Structures are given as structure tokens and as C-alpha cells.
């Protein structure tokens, strides 16, 4: 257990019958062995070991036809588990965006998660920009997977174009703004005040000094703590984070303060 209130701002869950397969697919995509199977009960068990009190949960529609069923699934999981804070999914090629956003808001979901590399669209394509206009008009934030040195879909410099086109849209660039693209993230995103970041899927790849330098370069007030479950184990990610030479108020800010500010939750 931790002295801090911990909110996990990036966790994936899948329906039980596909959880194992979906988890294997992500592991294969990234060539990283997954720590766990992405099921709600496993997430709660693992997070509880470090005292996580709330989880931003999401799942990505790789095809437009999956959007509605995934959003219903996330809603049902949030109804069942009060610890869950649900983000919906959309897809630029999905043709009922306005209607689905109505439903997403009626279901009480809090934002949209997109993964341009899984969904194979450029994060700043015309179709995606049209979708962000609808999302932004409703005041919903977007959690973007960002960065991959093998693909260009979610490159940090593309996210910068989105953030500049929609200055009121809250953009969360996962993985310090660019998984395996940390240098480009630092070049592209520091000057975008509506871009926030999470710490997930990064601390295993950079040194504690590099991570700390990035946190201070962007500003710790822009960071959320995330596990990227089922990719990583909560306890291991907690220890990686606690190994960074940060002050306790900085840790508190990242563990829960930024989340509480962005989402107005206590
Ligand atoms: Zn994710």
C-alpha cells in the first residue's frame, strides 16, 4: 500500500470471453510480454495491491463495427465497478458519430480513447479532425495513444496539429506523448497547453534521470499516472515511478492531482 492516493489513468479491459486473445494481440503488436490478462477482476486485484482507488478504463475499436458494443461494455463495467471511470471509443470511419456521442454521454462515459496505430488512421487526418470537432463541442477529453517508431499514424508532431486546431480540446498524449518517440514528443508538444500526458509504458524504457528530466521539461502538473494494464504490473510500475527523484507533492500531483483537476472529481 502507498501513502499516496493513486488513480490509474490508463487501463484496458476486455470482455471475459475475448480478454485472453485481445491481450495476446496487443502483446504481439508491441512484441512485449503482457503481465496480465486484461479482465476487470484482474485489474482490480492488481491495482489493489498498491492501493489504486480509481481506474480510467478503455478499450479501442479496431473496426467501426465494434464501436457500439465496446462502449456498451465499458458502460456495463462502470455500472458494476464504482472504481471504474469509463472512456468510450470511436473510429474516424464510423458513420454515426453524433448519435453515438449522444449515447456515450447518456451512459455517463467521460471521454474518448483512440489508438491511431491499431485503428490505422493518421491522428491529424481530415476525417479524424471532423470527429474531434464533434467530440470537442461536447467538452469531452481524448486520450490518444501516441508514438511508435515503426508507424507514423500517432506521431507527436501530428498530435501537435490536432492540439493547435482545437485549443479547447483536452488532449492526453499517452506514454509521455510518444511511445518510443520521446525526443519528438519533447520537440513537438511542450508548447501546447491543452496537451496532457500519462506516465504509462515509458518508465521501463528510459532511465530515471531521463524520465525525471521529461517530467520537469513538460511540467509535472501536466502528468497523470497510468499503468497501461494489462501491459505492466501495477506494483512494478509503482516502483519504477517511485524510483524517480521527485518530491512528494510532485508525486501526489501525478498520482491524482492532475486527474482530479481535469475531471473535477474528488
Ligand atoms: Zn491504451
User: How far lies 160's CA from each of 34, 172, 189, 192, 256, in Å?
Assistant: 30, 11, 6, 7, 25
Summarised one tens digit per residue, pLDDT across range 17-62 is 788 888 888 888 888 877 788 899 999 999 999 999 999 999 999 9
Residue span of the structural domain in which 195 resides: 6-263
CA of 58 to the centre of ligand 1 (A): 7
DSSP state letter for 203: T
Evaluate whether 185 touches 157 at the Cβ level (below 8 Å).
Answer: no
CA of 11 to the centre of ligand 1 (A): 7
Residue 8 and residue 28: Cα distance in Å, rounded?
A: 24
Q: Is residue 1 part of a domain?
A: no
266 has pLDDT over 80: no
Q: Is residue 167 part of a domain?
A: yes
Looking at residue 24, its pLDDT comes to 84
**How does residue 223 score in pLDDT terms, banded at 50, 70 and 90?**
very high
pTM over 0.85: yes
Residue 173 and residue 160: Cα distance in Å, rounded?
A: 10
Residue 109 and residue 103: Cα distance in Å, rounded?
A: 9
Looking at residue 131, its pLDDT comes to 98
CA of 12 to the centre of ligand 1 (A): 6
Looking at residue 206, its pLDDT comes to 95
Q: Percent of the chain at pLDDT above 70?
A: 100
CA of 221 to the centre of ligand 1 (A): 21
Q: Which residues contact 232 (CB under 8 A, 6 or more apart)?
A: 35, 200, 201, 204
In 3-state terms, what secondary structure has residue 264?
coil
CA of 174 to the centre of ligand 1 (A): 7
Q: Is residue 230 part of a domain?
A: yes
147 has pLDDT over 80: yes
**Of 232, 229, 223, the residue nearest 251 (C-alpha):** 223
Summarised one tens digit per residue, pLDDT across range 105-131 is 999 999 999 999 999 999 999 999 999
Count structural domains, the chain.
1
**Of 156, 136, 115, the residue nearest 29 (C-alpha):** 115
What CATH number does the domain containing 162 carry? Answer: 3.20.20.140
- Least confident among 34-38, 71-75, 145-149: 34-38
Amino acid at each position: 500500500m502507498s501513502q499516496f492516493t493513486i488513480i490509474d489513468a490508463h487501463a484496458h479491459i476486455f470482455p471475459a470471453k475475448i480478454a485472453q486473445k485481445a491481450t495476446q494481440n496487443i502483446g504481439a503488436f508491441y512484441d512485449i510480454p503482457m503481465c496480465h490478462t486484461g479482465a476487470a477482476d484482474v485489474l482490480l486485484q492488481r491495482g489493489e495491491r498498491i492501493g489504486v482507488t480509481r481506474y480510467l478504463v478503455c478499450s479501442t475499436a479496431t473496426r467501426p463495427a465494434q464501436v457500439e458494443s465496446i462502449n456498451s461494455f465499458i458502460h456495463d463495467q462502470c455500472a458494476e465497478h464504482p472504481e471504474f471511470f469509463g472512456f468510450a471509443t470511436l473510429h474516424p470511419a464510423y458513420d454515426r458519430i453524433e448519435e453515438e456521442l449522444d449515447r456515450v454521454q447518456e451512459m455517463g462515459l467521460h471521454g474518448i480513447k483512440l489508438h491511431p496505430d491499431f485503428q490505422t488512421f493518421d491522428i491529424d487526418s481530415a476525417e479524424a479532425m471532423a470527429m474531434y470537432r464533434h467530440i470537442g463541442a461536447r467538452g469531452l477529453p481524448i486520450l490518444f495513444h501516441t508514438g511508435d517508431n515503426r508507424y507514423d499514424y500517432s506521431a507527436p508532431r501530428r498530435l501537435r496539429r490536432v492540439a493547435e486546431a482545437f485549443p479547447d480540446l483536452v488532449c492526453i498524449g499517452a506514454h509521455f506523448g510518444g511511445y518510443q518517440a520521446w525526443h519528438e514528443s519533447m520537440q513537438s508538444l511542450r508548447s501546447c497547453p491543452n496537451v496532457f500526458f500519462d506516465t504509462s509504458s515509458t518508465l521501463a524504457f528510459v532511465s530515471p534521470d531521463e524520465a525525471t528530466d521529461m517530467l520537469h521539461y513538460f511540467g509535472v502538473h501536466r502528468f497523470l499516472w497510468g499503468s497501461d494494464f494489462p501491459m505492466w504490473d501495477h506494483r512494478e510500475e509503482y516502483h519504477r515511478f517511485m524510483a524517480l527523484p521527485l518530491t512528494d507533492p510532485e508525486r501526489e500531483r501525478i498520482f491524482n492531482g492532475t486527474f482530479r483537476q481535469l475531471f473535477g472529481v474528488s
